[in-house]
Chains A and B, each alone.
Chain A
Amino acid sequence: MALRAARALAPRAQQAAARRSMATEKEIAMRIASTKNIRKITSSMKMVSAAKLKGDQNRLAAAKQFAAWTAVLDEPATPLEELEGTAGLADHSVVVAISSDKGLCGGVHSAVARGLRTINARLKEENKTMNVIAVGEKGRSQLRRMVPDSLTTALTNIPPPYNFGYASTVAQMALDTEPEKTGAIAVVYNKFVSAIAYSPTLKTIAPFVLEGDDVTLTAYDADDDVLRGLREYYLATEIFYGMMEGATSEQSSRMQAMENATKNAGELIDKLTLIYNRARQARITTELIEIISGASALE
């Protein structure tokens, strides 16, 4: 972004330098000053996210152990890249897309939105439908364009970090969305891989089987009431876990983005300084020539 601006700026500055060297010199100096301010802002944003990332990582570590019990229930989540077809989604599903209200963090929100667009296209091929619940303003604004027909609910303006109470509210909302039609409920979020990588992931929560041979939690002694309550709790736990993964990915991606922006601003400042010095030199040379030729004309 900053580089593009620098490229666009350079020829214009040179032209202007040829026209009126005094004014451009000032103009360039101003531009250098403002770019320096931008660099200050981006580098402090980077440091802020680095500090916040620590907190997010701690919360994620706790959430991971908190959600460890879900292993008794089912298969692990699939990265969207490895997803084949519509993997486990029923004729009608509810999909919770987890993003946040804040931007300036690279492509994390777009990764979730693009993943949903792909799923949406595949569902359409198979004549299936879905309802999308968008968590976070950034997800909402992109999904509104990418899957306009499926987006039914958006939850915005909730300050991070998200807590379990909020996850439960979202879970309740997902369960209340056309419950007579809904087959599976899925959660799409960015899974934190490392400080420089994340992978958009889909976790499907299939409906519980309460009758027949293949009952849910068949290895355990559990009655139907427990299972009914458990589905709600399971969903809330998965949404909460997704939120923690998403928040950590977002913070690490923001750190990365701000580091790049700081680097780009630095490059831009170097380029502008060069142009500035050249313009100054040109002005001085012109003045000297003027004086010398003026003096020689008098001789």
Chain B
Amino acid sequence: MLALRAARALRGARRFSDASGGLQLSFAAPHTVYYFETSVASVTLPGASGEYGVTAGHSPLAEQLRPGVVAITHKQGEEPEKFFVSGGFAFTDAEKTEVSALEAVKLEDIDEAKVRAEYAAAAKGDDDDSKAAADAAKAMAAAIGVTL
């Protein structure tokens, strides 16, 4: 009984923190979890039909992601933390956003020379896989401010 009451109180407390702490973000790639139910101010996602921003209280939305930049603003007014994702899906509702990426790396970890080499290798082929690889390399280059 006591445990039940404690659980209920906790749940209430959590709802309260949701309202004050902003958006609950989960952001993970298969082998790495970057954030799990962490409070952030807002997040910008590279949706297949265009980039979109999410803050707390967003209407429910499921969207596929294209290769691009996920920008997480931890506190209002701060510089966002940027990640490159190669694709995936994002689910948003009023309280939380779950971003499931195929592959995600911090923007500052991207090596320009390697991106160029990757693009050069992928541009040679003409099947679907190498086209996708070329697109991803292009998006990665754009994310770090290089045009290929």
B-binding residues in A (CB < 8 A): 59, 61-63, 65-66, 68-69, 72, 163-164, 167, 217, 219-222, 225-226, 229-230, 233, 237, 240
Contacts and interface: CB of A to CB of B under 8 A. Distances in A.
Contacts of B102: 164
5 contacts: A61-B33, A72-B98, A220-B60, A229-B89, A240-B30
Most buried by B among A167, A217, A222: A222
A222 B62 contact: yes
A233 B91 CA distance: 13
A219 B93 contact: yes
B89 A69 contact: yes
B68 interface: no
Interface in B60-86: 60-64
Interface string B50-62: 0000000001111
B65 to A, nearest CB: 10
Contacts of B62: 72, 217, 220-222, 226, 230
A66 to B, nearest CB: 4
Nearest to A72: B91
A236 B32 CA distance: 16
Given A68-B98, A72-B91, A226-B48, 9 more contacts: A62-B28, A65-B28, A66-B28, A66-B30, A219-B60, A222-B62, A225-B48, A229-B64, A230-B64
Given A62-B32, A66-B29, A163-B31, A225 B59 contact: no
A164 B30 contact: yes
A226 B32 CA distance: 24
A65 B34 CA distance: 10
B22 interface: no
Nearest to B31: A62
| B interface bracket (residues with beta carbon within 8 Å of A) | 20 to 34
Central interface residue in A63, A65, A164, A222, by most chain B CB within 10 Å: A65
Nearest to A237: B100
Interface of B: 26, 28-33, 36, 48, 59-64, 88-89, 91-93, 98, 100, 102
A221 B59 contact: yes
Contacts of A62: 28, 30-33
A65 B26 contact: yes
A112 to B, nearest CB: 22
A62 B62 CA distance: 22
B28 A222 contact: no
Contacts of A222: 61-63
Contacts of B98: 68-69, 72
B93 A220 contact: yes
Contacts of B60: 219-221
Given A217-B62, A240-B30, A66 B100 contact: yes
Contacts of A63: 30-31
Given A220-B91, A222-B62, A69 B32 contact: no
Contacts of A221: 59-62
A98 to B, nearest CB: 16
Contact of A69 (B29, B63, B91): B91
